[in-house]
Amino acid sequence: MQRPPVAPSLLAVALLASAALATACGGGAPEAEVPIAREGPAEEIFRVGKEWESQATETGFRTPPSPIATFSGTVLSRVVFSDDQRTAKETLRFEATYKMQNGREFRCTAGTEVTLPVRFADHHGEAAVEMQRPRVELVRRCVPDGFPEPRLDLPPATARFALRADRLVAFAPAAERREYLPLQ
């Protein structure tokens, strides 16, 4: 039994459909590649936040001849990065209780705002920022009056922080203990 021959028009339609399908599925000219913009370290940190805060507790004791026997307090540091990626404003607040060798007790506060030069970089694949705090001299306000060390002097300091998850974690110098959390 012989089959009837396939009509040429049906064969032509099938070939045209195959050609159209091949062109629609990538058989045509390649699309232009669009370069992928990569985030820099500053943009990566700013995506998490431009305002950061760290709070640390300090406790300790001193031995004579210091008039201070023990101290306990908190240091609050709030950093707001500028849009120019070159500076930040740091607001520092200190609150502490001091017990003297003679038994007297003082509650003291101090605070200031400073401008920090900052640099953003990549540190072993992590976005990082370096903050340089200049020398800071503060005057403690104490209750009652008469605290024997009214000045609080902070030497210049440089610290480096890496973005890990949603935190800026210190990695240099090794003794740096601050860890910043985003405020927004």
pLDDT, tens digit (0-9, with 9 covering 90-100), for 38-95: 789 999 999 999 999 999 999 999 998 999 999 999 999 999 999 999 999 999 999 9
How many angstroms separate the CA atoms of 140 and 71, rounded?
A: 14
Please state the pTM of the whole predicted model: 0.77
Contact 73, 97 (CB under 8 A): yes
Please state the domain extents for the chain. 41-182
pLDDT digits (tens, 9 = 90+) for 139-161: 999 999 999 999 999 999 999 99
